[in-house]
C-alpha cells in the first residue's frame, strides 16, 4: 500500500465459526461440513477508509489461531 501512497493504520479481523462448504472442503482437503473458522480481515487507511479485504478459511481441527495484541501504556 505504501507504494501507492496509502498508509495502513489498523486492521480489523472478524472470526466466525462455521462448517466447510463443498468448495472450501475441496480446497482445504477436509470433509464437507468439517468445522472451520472464517476470518474476514479488513485493512484501513489512516483516514479510516477500508483499502483491502481478505476472506480466510482455516480448518478448526488442524490449526490454532493465536492473536498477540500490543498494549500501550
In CATH, what number is assigned to the domain containing residue 43? 3.40.1410.10
Sequence-separated (6 or more) residues with CB below 8 Å from residue 73: none
**Category of 26 on φ-ψ map: left (φ > 0), alpha (ψ -120 to 50) or beta:** alpha
Structural domains counted in the chain: 1
The answer to whether position 69 is within a domain reads no
Q: Please write the tens of the pLDDT for every residue from 7-24.
A: 999 999 999 999 999 999
pLDDT in tens, 27-43: 999 999 999 999 999 99
User: Which residues constitute the domain of residue 31?
Assistant: 2-59
List of long-range contacts for 46-53, beta carbons under 8 Å, 24+ apart: 46/7, 46/8, 46/9, 48/9, 51/1, 51/6, 51/8, 52/1, 52/8
Q: Would the pTM count as exceeding 0.75?
A: yes
Residue 45 belongs to a domain: yes
Strand (E) or helix (H) holding 11:
strand 8-19
pLDDT (tens digit per residue) in 53-66: 999 999 999 888 99
Amino acid at each position: 500500500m505504501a507504494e501507492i501512497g496509502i498508509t495502513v493504520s489498523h486492521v480489523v479481523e472478524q472470526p466466525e465459526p462455521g462448517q466447510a462448504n463443498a468448495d472450501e472442503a475441496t480446497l482445504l482437503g477436509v470433509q464437507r461440513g468439517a468445522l472451520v473458522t472464517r476470518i474476514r480481515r479488513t485493512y484501513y487507511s489512516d483516514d479510516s477508509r477500508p483499502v483491502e479485504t481478505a476472506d480466510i478459511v482455516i480448518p478448526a481441527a488442524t490449526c490454532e489461531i493465536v492473536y498477540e495484541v500490543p498494549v500501550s501504556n
